[in-house]
Amino acid sequence: MSLFLVNVLLALAWSAVTGSFTFLNFAFGFVLAIFALSLIREQVGSIGYFSRARRVISLFLLFLYELVLSAWRVAVIVLSPRMDLKPGIFAYPLRVDRDFEITMLANLITLTPGTLSVDVSDDRRTLYVHAMDASDPDATRRDIAEGFERKIMEAFR
Amino acid sequence: MTEILTLISALLLLIGSVFTLIAAIGLLRLPDLYTRIHAASKAGTMGSCLALIALAIHAHDFGTMSRALAGVVFFLLTAPVSSHLLAKAAYAVGYRLHSSSVRDEMAPEDDK
């Protein structure tokens, strides 16, 4: 995380030196900073930083894909002439335990197909999820555990 | 090049509007608050984000572009939080799930 800060600082320094704070110039500075950090990766131990960055990006791409799929599925349900819904709330046992990770998982679940996080139990062990189709909660639980939760654990541990 | 960009942004705007319309229809057609939140949070977010991305592509200065993209990011950050709070608050004050619901594992043990 601190290396990310260094990365941002280097990009800011680049923007200041070139005297232009446009988005594109900052992005260019960011890429330059990544390059600089990769040159000294042996010294500052940023090897983990790059593989982590890759995992964060892969989490982000998964998220975008699921968001599009989710909007599409809602559209199909809403526009079908006979709405055949089996909504319900099911409990999801959490494996992640830090507040930050739970928040992230809950938000990701909300923006993905057919699921909406409603509440976290007081002991932070269970997440209550409302689903558009709760007829097979075990399959949904498995999807979340093998999709987002695993990716979050890979990206932030 | 400009034509292609205009075409892409027009297409994104169109798809975004369709998703926003679907979100609105969903609000009317879905049976209870919890399912309606699904429509508003997903199709709604998708529609607004696509419209903002269309603006970012169409705008020729980077100030507008970065602000539009910041808007997308804030939409993605705030939409799940607000819909989660809405659902939590609705459940806390005792808003019932629609009768077609098949399960409620959140209900206290004694009134299942």
Its ipTM equals 0.71
H-helix or E-strand containing B71?
A: helix B62-92
Share the mean pLDDT of chain B: 82
Best of A23, A64, A100, A135 to substitute, by most chain B Cβ atoms within 10 angstroms, is A23
Name chain A contacts of B103, Cβ cutoff 8 Å.
88-90, 134, 137
A70, A108, A134 member nearest B102 (Cβ): A134
Name chain A contacts of B26, Cβ cutoff 8 Å.
74, 77-78
Kindly report, residue by residue over B47-104, the tens digit of the pLDDT. 888 999 999 888 877 778 888 888 888 888 888 888 888 888 888 887 777 776 666 7
In this structure, how many other beta carbons lie within 10 angstroms of the beta carbon of residue A154?
15
B43, B83, B106 member nearest A119 (Cβ): B106
Domain ranges for chain B, please list them. 2-94
How far apart are alpha carbons A52 and A127 in whole angstroms?
26
Kindly report, residue by residue over B10-62, the tens digit of the pLDDT. 999 999 999 899 888 888 888 888 888 888 888 888 888 899 999 988 887 77
How far apart are alpha carbons A77 and A149 in whole angstroms?
26
Confidence of residue B110 (pLDDT cuts 50, 70, 90): very low
Best of A73, A102, A118 to substitute, by most chain B Cβ atoms within 10 angstroms, is A118
Please answer whether residues A125 and B94 qualify as being in contact, where contact means their C-beta atoms are separated by less than 8 angstroms: no
- What pTM was estimated for this model as a whole? 0.72
Kindly report, residue by residue over A56-87, the tens digit of the pLDDT. 788 788 888 888 888 888 888 888 877 777 78
Contact B106 A68 (CB under 8 A): no
Q: Would you state the structure tokens that stand for residue B2, as one six-digit string?
A: 């400009």
Contact B39 A135 (CB under 8 A): no
Amino acid making up residue A51: S
Amino acid making up residue A86: K
Please answer whether residues A10 and A51 qualify as being in contact, where contact means their C-beta atoms are separated by less than 8 angstroms: no
Confidence of residue B106 (pLDDT cuts 50, 70, 90): low
pLDDT of residue A63: 81
Q: Would you state the structure tokens that stand for residue B28, as one six-digit string?
A: 């009317």
Whether A54 has its CB under 8 Å from any CB of chain B: the answer is: no
A22, A23, A74 member nearest B38 (Cβ): A74
Which residue numbers in chain A have pLDDT < 70?
1, 45-47, 157
pLDDT of residue B107: 66
